[in-house]
A and B are shown apart, each in its own frame.
Chain A
């Protein structure tokens, strides 16, 4: 039987920080990113991404990318999984 909700740990794309959330198996990556942008009582967990640097969710255990419209169940997320919130970086000369 599928568990109604799962506890999932999201790692910050830059910092050594984790946000733990209860997530429905029907939750999509896009909904989770919106939840991380909204954050909790402390404030947003992540900030709106700059142009061309969208966030991407990846299951740390399997390295499966969770595409924006994919649900956590479809991606194979399990209770207790760590989800890496990834974001590309860039530097350039002045």
Chain B
């Protein structure tokens, strides 16, 4: 007799809403290869940069929260919150950061407490010594984020080049920042 029998699973219905291309509080990123976009609240970029600087000289890691939505062009992800791991939840050096399964669970519980109606949509970590590109270890981590709408954000603290790198899906497709045209009266 089968000792494990799946019955059902929770499904998050995608919110049907036109993508927020004209919202000046959001920074849009798009894939050239695929029809997929991400909209990041500016405060998320500010917060992830701040916690990355606070963790210097070491790397740090955290989770991203928001919502995956869809419109007539397909699915897209909106990220409105980030939660960083605490120093006692990680082992980190200037070249790597590790978080245990228990640490991830604590981090996620904290994010869900602080943002009870958002879903976890991805992760971020910092590169104090290198560009915001995914390393071999980062690509392995991104493989554990199995949905095509899941996001990896890399924050670089080197003084030259791009500050942020954004990737989506388990195969880590690079996203490029798109221009935002604010609506009239929106500043």
Contacts and interface: CB of A to CB of B under 8 A. Distances in A.
Contact of B144 (A5, A14, A84): A14
Contact of B120 (A16, A34, A39, A45): A16
A88 B9 contact: no
Interface string B142-178: 0111110010000000000000000000000000000
Contacts of B59: 91-93
Contact of A94 (B104, B119, B133): B133
Interface of B: 1, 3-10, 12, 59, 61, 94-105, 112, 119-120, 123, 125, 127-131, 133-138, 140-141, 143-147, 150
Interface string A76-94: 0000000010111111111
Interface in A20-77: 20-24, 26-28, 31-32, 34-35, 39-40, 42, 45, 47, 49-51, 53, 56, 58
Interface residues of A, number: 42
A3 interface: no
Interface of A: 5, 7, 13-24, 26-28, 31-32, 34-35, 39-40, 42, 45, 47, 49-51, 53, 56, 58, 84, 86-94
B123 A32 contact: no
A93 B127 contact: yes
Given A21-B4, A21-B6, A89 B123 contact: yes
A90 B97 contact: yes
Contacts of A34: 4
